[in-house]
Amino acid sequence: MKIAIVGTGYVGLVTGTCFAEMGTDVYCVDVDTQKIENLKKGIIPIYEPGLEEMVKRNYQADRLHFTTELKDCLNEVEVLFSAVGTPPDEDGSADLKYVLDVARTIGRYMTKYLLVVTKSTVPVGTAQIIKQTIQHELDLREMDIPFDIASNPEFLKEGTAISDFMSPDRVVVGVETERAEALMTKLYRPFLLNNFRVIYMDVPSAEMTKYAANAMLATRISFMNDIANLCEIIGADVNMVRKGIGTDARIGSRFLYPGCGYGGSCFPKDVKALVKTGLVNGYPMRILQAVEDVNESQKTILFDKLYKHYNGDLKGKKIALWGLAFKPETDDMREAPSLVLIDKMVDAGCQVTAYDPIAMTEAKRRIGDKVDYAKDIYDSVVDADALVLVTEWKEFRMPSWNAIRKLMSVPLVIDGRNIYDKTELAENGFIYYCIGR
């Protein structure tokens, strides 16, 4: 079976590579010539554990092809996945420019039946717009070529993208015809040995499922952040509360970790887009608006703790910042809480020295010399008036507190992910702040 994946971002590249790994012949298409040339050389644009080797292996096996020419693949493939970006525009709605560009090219150049599957997260109704766009182009050509549309939202997480794709909890597929369902069943058959379910439904429901899943997960996080903040005020420990509620099977223990706010390419964008969809359709999404508001204020909570500790006098303070990426195991800094914190600290006159195991190149690209960059965790804390932890990378979990206390100017730790033991920090002579404990 031959398929094309348009867009070689996170979702597109992982999808294409994983299908190739299962023996499918895959064309990965992107308009970015440099990116395509790099991929052919095995240079991948993102940091994702295991991806580089898998790309190289399948490229060498001639199952994975990279091209900038979408129109040439259209004669070759039976199924085309659209995984191009849907960045938020100024008002928070998803910008469909790239999605519609792809649809127009398909309509202009397709020569035989094609199943067009949307993988990007797109507002409900987008598949219909794609269908109309393709049909419009075919009408202009006075051609009558059959095609189907489908929606197959992707739920992979950065950092564990390959295992998420290979062994997902479920695959959601929205289809309109039996032909489309049969093709999708054929495509996913090799994965079924990994024991998951393909859930078929109508197209709008599949589109909505992706938003509802991300919105629910973001809601859990903001809810726990609210609970954590209240715990702190009334003297409860949110870790205990989290364990106490997470053992209820109806609630479950995952995604209940309070912290300094969620970031990344999905939650912030999708929550905003669903709020916008609600407004446009005359149904304000009140809970989600609150989820978004709580997250915005949570991103400043570490700064607030620092500000309070120093009674607002932060001018000239040296701050060590651990973790720039929005979460561990990625170099992605999109909507990262670290960015908000850095802005606030720099505005208040702090001198920030940051360290991240993977994301420092990305940070230099984004914020340049707004902060200094340390070569390791110990280098970052020299003469520091505070150490602020933003991302829970494994290598931050068991530092030598003895060495750190000697290097710091003031033994103050502000832990945005609750990864340290309060007693251990106190025994080592640190003033320790965390979230909701």
Binding annotation: 30, 35, 86, 121, 155-158, 210, 255-259, 263, 269, 327, 334
CA-to-CA distance for 288 and 216, rounded, in angstroms? 9
User: Residue 127 interacts with ligand UDX (CB under 6 A)?
Assistant: no
Q: Are strands 114-118 and 147-151 parallel, antiparallel or unpaired?
A: parallel
Other C-beta atoms lying within 10 Å of the C-beta of residue 276: 18
Please identify, using beta-carbon distances, which residue of 27 and 257 lies nearer to ligand UDX: 257
Q: Work out which of 3, 127, 156, 228 binds ligand UDX, going by CB under 6 A.
A: 156
User: Residue 434 interacts with ligand UDX (CB under 6 A)?
Assistant: no
CA-to-CA distance for 385 and 365, rounded, in angstroms? 27
Tokens 């703790």 belong to which residue? 305
User: Residue 273 interacts with ligand UDX (CB under 6 A)?
Assistant: no
Structure tokens, 132: 């109309």
- CB of residue 43 vs ligand UDX: minimum separation in angstroms? 22
Position of minimal CB gap to ligand UDX: 266
User: Residue 264 interacts with ligand UDX (CB under 6 A)?
Assistant: yes
CA-to-CA distance for 72 and 77, rounded, in angstroms? 10
Of 35-43, 172-180, 261-269, 279-287, the segment contacting ligand UDX by CB under 6 A is 261-269
**C-beta separation of 263 from 423 below 8 A:** no
Provide DSSP, 413-426.
Answer: EEETT--S-HHHHH
Tokens 């990625």 belong to which residue? 330
Who contacts 153 (Cβ-Cβ below 8 Å, separation ≥6)? 118, 119, 121, 172, 206, 207, 209, 210, 213
| Nearest Cα to Cα of residue 118 among 140, 139, 133 | 133
| Nearest Cα to Cα of residue 167 among 207, 189, 188, 194 | 194
- CB of residue 143 vs ligand UDX: minimum separation in angstroms? 36
Other C-beta atoms lying within 10 Å of the C-beta of residue 332: 23
What amino acid occupies position 33? T
**Beta-bridge mates of residue 148:** 115
- CB of residue 156 vs ligand UDX: minimum separation in angstroms? 5
Element (H, E) at 80: strand 79-82
Q: Work out which of 155, 191, 393, 420 binds ligand UDX, going by CB under 6 A.
A: 155
- CB of residue 222 vs ligand UDX: minimum separation in angstroms? 9
CA-to-CA distance for 30 and 296, rounded, in angstroms? 33
Please identify, using beta-carbon distances, which residue of 7 and 264 lies nearer to ligand UDX: 264
CA-to-CA distance for 108 and 97, rounded, in angstroms? 17
CA-to-CA distance for 225 and 7, rounded, in angstroms? 35
- CB of residue 259 vs ligand UDX: minimum separation in angstroms? 4
Q: Work out which of 299, 327, 344, 437 binds ligand UDX, going by CB under 6 A.
A: 327
User: Residue 93 interacts with ligand UDX (CB under 6 A)?
Assistant: no
User: Residue 396 interacts with ligand UDX (CB under 6 A)?
Assistant: no
User: Residue 222 interacts with ligand UDX (CB under 6 A)?
Assistant: no
User: Residue 231 interacts with ligand UDX (CB under 6 A)?
Assistant: no
Who contacts 101 (Cβ-Cβ below 8 Å, separation ≥6)? 84
Q: Is 28 annotated as catalytic?
A: no
- How many residues belong to the site for ligand UDX (CB under 6 A)? 19
Please identify, using beta-carbon distances, which residue of 102 and 256 lies nearer to ligand UDX: 256
**Feature table: binding site for substrate:** 155-158, 210, 255-259, 263, 327
Please identify, using beta-carbon distances, which residue of 30 and 154 lies nearer to ligand UDX: 154
Catalytic residue among 18, 231, 260, 266: 266
Q: Work out which of 158, 356, 362, 385 binds ligand UDX, going by CB under 6 A.
A: 158
Of 166-174, 255-263, 346-354, 429-437, the segment contacting ligand UDX by CB under 6 A is 255-263
Q: Work out which of 262, 303, 322, 396 binds ligand UDX, going by CB under 6 A.
A: 262
User: Residue 266 interacts with ligand UDX (CB under 6 A)?
Assistant: yes
The rounded Cα 258 to chain-centroid distance in angstroms is 18
User: Residue 257 interacts with ligand UDX (CB under 6 A)?
Assistant: yes
Catalytic residue numbers?
Answer: 266
Kindly list the residues in this chain that would bind ligand UDX in the complex (CB under 6 A): 154-158, 214, 217, 221, 255-257, 259, 262-264, 266-267, 326-327
